[in-house]
Structure 1
């Protein structure tokens, strides 16, 4: 998905030369922000969802919320935070594109009705050796100035108007970015769950080691007490045998 999104981005850069005045929504007046929050789907992942929610902060009450993840949705309900749209994170990576389709459909419906005009994705990303980090990415409207225009390439042969092609490409890029962020969140949740389980296993081992040490100490104390009792009894028995009898 990283490669696919990069390929679409390069193609957009090529088409931009044919539509130099394209801005795609950057001139709109701000109405309301929409946030796609990729939280945990299952438990045993530590504070995975909490870190995502804390990264957003006060914006939870001012934005339209698209919440992905059953566990994250439950945590928000416990906190009394209203959710506008929610969906479960697929249990398999092959289900991610269908999830992106649903998010895109719900988003475009709200954009068309004028409810929102901006969309950010907040998700967790796992990096080898660095752990899980929360990231935020602007998805809509696209800042076309950020797309590089490759130099030295001939203009592509088009069978449709450049404006229509650019609109299709930007919609495809949004879908690719949603798939990209969802897959990063999917991988990060699994890594967080593995870390939580490993930490729990380590904690259990430490506690077991402590209990075993305590058991040995207690057993040693019991043995010592038994030896003392036996020694005291033996001493008393010998003293009774050597004591002169009264006549």
Structure 2
């Protein structure tokens, strides 16, 4: 009985330690998600600045030339696409990677060939199991400060492949923070680059006043077409920064929800072990009481000794009686 009791006690100590680890992981995930959310405003402000610069640069190019900057429409059934898939770098995220990969598979059904650029070690394993054509992969960030470096690296790889091959469409698929328990994914088209989203207005226009077209074009020292292409690349870089930051925040939210579920399971297990410990301890106490009671009763009983048999004396000697 004592061996079982010590075994349950050891398991309870282990579960208490696991509870501390789960609580720490939950706190870290919450802090990282909050930090990632706080960085989004800066990234979006940068994207707005580049967007305004593109609008100014469009003033330098007539309508005919501006339409030529975007990739022409082609038959999707005869062209290839490139999908950037942002997955989780670390574990304990539930079905986070599976939802993102399912969205990536659904987005590429209209193309003959699709090459996937996968970020996140956990996602790479899941993508390989699903049979995705992973042409390039890299680790996902583990801290918000790593976003610019990863986005810059991804932008370089993206444009290298565009120059080398025939790709008519490039998109990025990632998860976004969601207050519910489900994983919400978003697909954003990077190329063909839609210049129609940007209006040729003054970058200094106040948000409270209507857009006013700039009469005088900006002074530049680059060819207008080259300037516009570089600004488009900067805007794609900002888009990738935002997508990576949103995915990082969503990953940590998924981990936080997983830790909440794990904490509930730990509490349930701890309650079950506590019940077993109390039951075994009660049985041990009862057994000790029974043993002590039995020993006390045995000590209180009077001892019965056999009486000696009488003897008869005959003559000079003694003869026992029969």
List gaps (5 residues or longer) in structure 2.
Answer: 1-42, 202-210, 303-322
In 1, distance between residues paired with 2:225 and 2:131? 44
Distance 2:90 2:194 in 1: 34
TM-score by length of 2: 0.64
Aligned to 1:76: 127
Among 50, 54, 60, the residue aligned to 2:102: 54
1:119 deviates by 0.7
**8 A Cα contact 2:57 2:218, kept in partner:** no
Counterparts of 2:242 and 2:155, CA distance in 1:
13
1:108 aligns with 2:159: yes
Deviations 1:169-214 (A, max 9, x none): 1111011111111111122222222222232122111221133234
Give 1 or 2 for the bigger CA radius of gyration: 2
1:164 corresponds, among 187, 205, 226, to 226
Task: Classify the secondary structure of the residue corresponding to 2:46.
Answer: helix
Given candidates 187, 212, 219, the residue that maps to 1:152 is 212
Deviation at 1:152, TM superposition (A): 1.1
Q: Tell me the matched-pair count.
A: 243
Question: 188, 210, 215: which is aligned to 2:250?
Answer: 188
2:103 and 2:290 map into 1 onto residues whose CA distance is: 63
Query: Within 1, Cα distance between the matches of 2:127 and 2:269?
Result: 33
- What's the secondary structure of 2:150's corresponding residue? helix
State how far apart, in whole Å, the 2-side matches of 1:130 and 1:4 are.
Answer: 29
**How far apart, in 1, do the equivalents of 2:132 and 2:196 lie?**
35
Partner deviation per Cα, 1:25-47 (whole Å, 9 max, x = no partner): 33142421100000011112222
Gaps of 5+ in 1: 242-247
What is the distance in 2 between the residues matched to 1:81 and 1:114?
19
User: How does 1:235-246 map onto structure 2 within 5 Å?
Assistant: none
Q: 1:140, CA displacement in angstroms? A: 1.0
Change over 3 Å in CA distance of 1:190–1:221 after alignment to 2: same
Structure 2: distance between partners of 1:218 and 1:147: 74
Name the CA distance, whole Å, in 2 between partners of 1:55 and 1:80.
Answer: 14
| Deviations 1:54-81 (CA, angstroms, capped at 9, x unpaired) | 2223538941100011111122223343
- Root-mean-square deviation (CA, aligned residues, Å) is 3.2
Picking from 71, 85, 91, the partner of 1:43 is 91
Q: State the match for 2:51 in structure 1.
A: 9
Cα distance, 1:218 vs. partner? Answer: 5.3
Whether the 8 Å CA contact 2:56–2:218 is kept in 1: the answer is no
- 3-state DSSP of counterpart to 2:89: coil
Q: What does the per-residue CA deviation read over 1:112-168, in whole Å, with 9 as the maximum and x for residues that have no partner?
A: 2333121110011114x3465211111111122223444314244221343222111
Distance 1:228 1:142 in 2: 86
SS in 2 for 1:189: helix
